[in-house]
Structure 1
Amino acid sequence: MEQEVEVDVLIRQRIRGLRLARGWSLDALAARCYLSPSTLSRIETGHRRIALDQLVPIARALGTSIDQLVEPGEDEDVVIRPHPSSHPGMTTWLLSPERALRGTTVAKMRVTPEHRYDPDDLRVHPGREWFTVLSGTARLQLAERTIVVAEGEAAEFSTMVPHAITAVDGPVEILTIFDHDGERAHLHPDRPGGGERA
């Protein structure tokens, strides 16, 4: 029973927090989910039970899912302790847990000039990738285009374009976000279709 009460309180906090994060008044959210402002206020403050038929339109209006609203707030270790994975010219630290939400993986990569790519064997996979340069300078090869990305700059691109990331004049450190296909292609050389190239 106590756990049920804790989840109930958490749901109410999430509804209020998401509403405030969007800058919406009670009236604005109530209009979007077809509830009265007073009903919504009583839901947020715990003076009214939350019914499933109310939770569905509230979640939809807030741009989330019921699963995310009712997900228990587990007391888990939030610190990620990455272990380096090295290949010639490249070291990778995974900065997101394996159970990462929405199928994305965050990684820090250190690429040295020893890391080379074969122009005839650039990586291609569905999706998009994003990275920012933490230090050094990166060379992003997109098919025939060569783009230099300096420290503090970021790049986002379609991964259906043949691509590779290398270092310019010394090591480069990047923070990158991969979708599921990008993670498989770049971080798991032992899986079919995988490889260590950035």
Structure 2
Amino acid sequence: MRKAPVTSANREGIVADEAEIIERVGPRLRAFRQTAGLTLSQLAAQTGLTPSTLSRLERAQIRPSLEQLLPLARVYGVPLDELVAAPAHGDPRVHLRPVRREGLTYVPLGVNRGELQAFKVIYPAVSDLPPARFHAHPGREWLYVLSGEVRLVLSDQITDLTVGEAAEFDTTTPHWIGNAHPTLPAEIIAIYGKQGGRIHLADLER
């Protein structure tokens, strides 16, 4: 099959798309850094790039290279396409891939590991629950009960939630979420901040 020739019009369109992406990269890089609470000097220490280079990247004064973007994506914990805001094409639907771990089922509801990560979580009945594992980390978490009864433990405070109820809490408090019903499963929608998402994903990948 012969490839279609690259015409002058096509070439101009490609260059325009690249220019648009590059123009957007600078403000996005600055936003990622500010969200992470890092100064240019702190980011430089973590990436090996100089503060001057980082500043010029954020002001779109230089074209970012792969060698510059890779350490930035690593520090911010995002894929390259999210870092540069490449145009989205194709089917916007998320292809659900459940992950089962220690009796729990996690269904990621998004493809990007950005500031917020959404999951559907299915808890087995109390008799099949894994041992409680408390977490504490910077950030906040939200949950909404889809079915069943859910138990939220914040340090020594126990709260039972039923269908249609929601909770939001500071995750610097040691916390655990599980089923409150002895025989029926429960389902929630959980939204984690970046730190919480990393910890829960690490649990899944163990």
Q: Which residue number in structure 2 is paired with residue 123 of structure 1?
A: 135
Q: Which residue number in structure 1 is paired with residue 189 of structure 2?
A: 175
The superposition leaves residues 31-57 of structure 1 with CA deviations (integer Å, 9 ceiling, x where unpaired) of xxxxxxxxxxxxxxxxxxxxx9xxxxx
1:84 maps onto 2:92 in alignment: no
**Structure 2: gaps spanning 5 or more residues:** 1-11, 21-59, 61-81
Contact 1:80 1:96 in 2 (8 A): yes
Distance 1:164 1:138 in 2: 11
Distance 1:181 1:149 in 2: 24
Contact 1:117 1:164 in 2 (8 A): no
| Offset at residue 74 of structure 1 (A) | 2.8
Distance 1:136 1:190 in 2: 23
1:106 maps onto 2:118 in alignment: yes
| Offset at residue 73 of structure 1 (A) | 3.9
Note the 1:43-192 alignment, pairs <5 A. 73-97=87-111, 99-101=112-114, 103-112=115-124, 113=126, 114-118=128-132, 122-169=134-181, 170-189=184-203
Cα 1:92–1:71 shift into 2, 3 Å:
closer
Distance 1:174 1:184 in 2: 19
The superposition leaves residues 86-115 of structure 1 with CA deviations (integer Å, 9 ceiling, x where unpaired) of 122200011110x344x2211100011222
| Offset at residue 125 of structure 1 (A) | 1.0
Higher normalized helix content (fraction of residues): 2
Contact 2:149 2:162 in 1 (8 A): yes
Cα 1:76–1:189 shift into 2, 3 Å:
same
Q: Which moved more, 1:179-188 or 1:124-133?
A: 179-188
SS in 1 for 2:199: helix
TM-score, scaled relative to structure 2: 0.55
| Offset at residue 179 of structure 1 (A) | 1.3
Aligned length: 130
SS in 2 for 1:188: helix
Identity of aligned residues (%): 30
> Once superposed, what is the RMSD of the aligned Cα atoms?
2.8
| Offset at residue 186 of structure 1 (A) | 1.7
- Opposite residue 157 of structure 2, the aligned amino acid is R
| Offset at residue 142 of structure 1 (A) | 0.5
- Opposite residue 175 of structure 2, the aligned amino acid is H
- Opposite residue 89 of structure 1, the aligned amino acid is G
- Opposite residue 196 of structure 2, the aligned amino acid is G
TM-score, scaled relative to structure 1: 0.57
Cα 1:172–1:183 shift into 2, 3 Å:
same
Cα 1:177–1:89 shift into 2, 3 Å:
same
**Structure 1: gaps spanning 5 or more residues:** 9-51, 53-67
Cα 1:189–1:72 shift into 2, 3 Å:
closer
